[in-house]
Chain A
Amino acid sequence: MTVAASLGDLVRDIEDPELPHVTIGDLGIVRSVTIHGATATVLLTPTYTGCPATEQIREDVADAVRSAGLEPDVRLVISPAWSTDWITERGHQRLLAAGIAPPPPADEPGVTFVDPPVACPRCSSRRTRLISHFGGTACKATYVCNACSEPFEFFKAL
């Protein structure tokens, strides 16, 4: 394995500070890891423009690069815009395991005003209802399950 590839694995294994056990590799926000001499350049794509976790992730990535004995150069690139479609299959499973309903495929940005049916991450019932379009973070909406009465979060398609 090349140095860049093993550093890439190290970076992609960093956990998101706000999503338990979901790595930034699972989220698909690591665009590239390249090494030139003693410097490792990591390109990250923020999920939401104002996501406060972005700064923490930047620092975590810089720490990981330093732990590999390299000088970090961590940059944010916003284009192409991140989509929830970039979340890996393992990411979906980990979200589900954390009690967060994973996102359906993202459509073209549009406003249909129809809220999608969401299956409860605990009991799988589709008899759920929307509480709020936002949750503890901008990327999630708050739902409650009518079958098992558990409130849960839903990772919105973006």
Chain B
Amino acid sequence: MFASCCIFAAMSATSDSSFMLGAREGFAAFLPFSVGLVPWALVMGMAMTSTGFSPLEAMGMNIIVFAGTAQLGTLPLIAAEAPLWLIVVTALALNLRFVIFSAAIAPGFRGVGLPARWLSGHLLTDGVFATCVDRMQHVDDPRWRLGYYLAPSLWSWLLWQSFTLLGIYAAAIVPKSWSLEFMATIALIVLLVPMARIRPMLVAALVGGGSATLLRNLPLRLGVVVAIVLGIAAGFAAEHVEHRRKQQ
């Protein structure tokens, strides 16, 4: 309810043509990637149902949290009645990458009002970040930028809520052997491939992916956070090496 009120407020406050132009372009850029959300949301609905949540509780979590990784990561802890602090620390560790994403995309929100920034922050996801971060740095008009960001964000939100709801009720119907959740992995690959065409980015991806695999047994899933930091350091180092080689 709260989120949909915010959505309407944000839409009506900025529903001029440059907002809509940005919105159309952002939506078109994001649409193919959003396919990956569908199986991911279905799996989320099924997982919450099998943890023992009622449909109301499951949709409550889905609307309040709105984060697949943090939801799936904390479900086993909730089911095991783990202490509250451990659940919160785990969620924070899983979400630490968003601080980095938020800092990287923040310049794209210059000239945008505070309520729209809070809404945008709440709606920040991996796919929307990857779609918008670069494009938003290179456009002057703040309304165009907000449209370019909010259209894919709101589309993600709507898809996510609808298909989680479907997943809650379809938990028993879709055969597990279809492995539909793999489409979420493919969606992440589709985002990653064009980035990794630049050599230092490829180094960052290889080190990040390799370390996350090797560090999988670190407590509280901190391995993912450590791997991201190592990947960033490796990419930055590779950029310096390449730069020095060009100078020689």
Q: Do A and B bind each other?
A: no
What residues make up the interface of A, taking CB atoms closer than 8 Å to B? none
What residues make up the interface of B, taking CB atoms closer than 8 Å to A? none
